[in-house]
Amino acid sequence: MYKKNRVAIVTGGSSGIGQAICVTLAKSGFNVVVTGTNPLRIEETLQLLEQFLHTASAHIGRKTDVTNEKEVRSLVEITYNRFERIDLLVASAGIGKSAGSKRVLPYSAATLPLCEWKAVLDVNLTGVYLTNRAVLPIMKAQKSGQIINIGSSTTPHGLKGTPYAPAYCASKFALAGFTQALAAEVEGDGIRVQTVFPGPVETPLVDNTLLAKPFGGIVRSDNFSNAVMALIEYPMDSTVIDPHILPMRGKG
């Protein structure tokens, strides 16, 4: 069923960067599995994808908490049972603060509550680990697949600690190391694993923080999703190591 089209799971696909990536993938003929924690936003994304339904293609949504191992496993099982393959995972789910926090960033390290620290690392790091791990058995059996983990260029000069964003920076630095380790482990299985590091992209997360100010501009979400698509289509005998997608100063 649906074997003519590649199959992609996009976590955090119900808004922001993830939603833009879902649209770009659908335009390119992928069957897209949209995940998020808000069913209404998932449905909004699916409505956007309806205009890009191709022959033998389908798009589905699944409410999934990426920090919940059981829900992640269920997401992967449902996807495989429906499409009989998984070609791509884009791990885009990410937060700058917990859903329950009423405070707008930034947080200093001295005032950051432990619950906020844990919430950010749970989604941005453990959530990526759980989703990456869950798709690997299927991709190994296929002897093919791609994983793209969405990192963050925390400064205009790459991965450098940003004042007042200790948990966010820690999660994205650790994500880089995790992805590099996993990529080295599975490249012999025909699986390519990469991290993409965007600067500030037009998303609700950036709109509600001060993190974009040092960059002097902002990356359009469709431009970023097109850059991700270029990496997906890059020949599988090569890889692009830790690309950073940054705005031209004053052009955002």
pLDDT at 157: 52
Most confident of 14-18, 21-25, 155-159: 21-25
The pLDDT of residue 252 is above 80: no
How sure is the predictor about 217, in pLDDT bands with cuts at 50, 70 and 90? low
- What are the residue numbers of the active site? 168
Q: What is the mean pLDDT of residues 10-38?
A: 94
The full 3-state SS of the chain, as one line of letters, equals: CCCCCCEEEEECCCCHHHHHHHHHHHHCCCEEEEEECCHHHHHHHHHHHHHHCCCCCCCEEEECCCCCHHHHHHHHHHHHHHHCCCCEEEECCCCCCCCCCCCCCCCCCCCCCHHHHHHHHHHHHHHHHHHHHHHHHHHHHHCCEEEEEECCCCECCECCCCCCCHHHHHHHHHHHHHHHHHHHHHHHHCEEEEEEEECCECCHHHHCCCCCHHHCCCECHHHHHHHHHHHHCCCCCCCCCCCEECCCCCCC
| 23 pLDDT more than 90 | yes
94-119 residue pLDDT tens:
987 776 676 665 678 888 899 999 99
Q: Which residue has the higher pLDDT, 139 or 217?
A: 139
Between 221 and 204, whose confidence is greater?
221
More confident residue, 246 or 187: 187
Q: What is the pLDDT of residue 9?
A: 98
User: How confident is residue 3, by pLDDT bands cut at 50, 70 and 90?
Assistant: very low
Q: Domain 7-245: give its CATH superfamily.
A: NAD(P)-binding Rossmann-like Domain (3.40.50.720)
Tell me, what's the pLDDT at 104?
62
Q: What is the pTM of this model?
A: 0.89
Average pLDDT, the chain: 86
Q: With CA atoms as reference, report the closest residue to 45 among 12, 11, 79, 14.
A: 14
Residue 62 pLDDT level (bands cut at 50, 70, 90): very high
pLDDT band for position 76 (50/70/90)?
Answer: very high
At residue 102, the pLDDT reads: 64
Check residue 40 and give its pLDDT: 96
pLDDT in the model for residue 201:
72
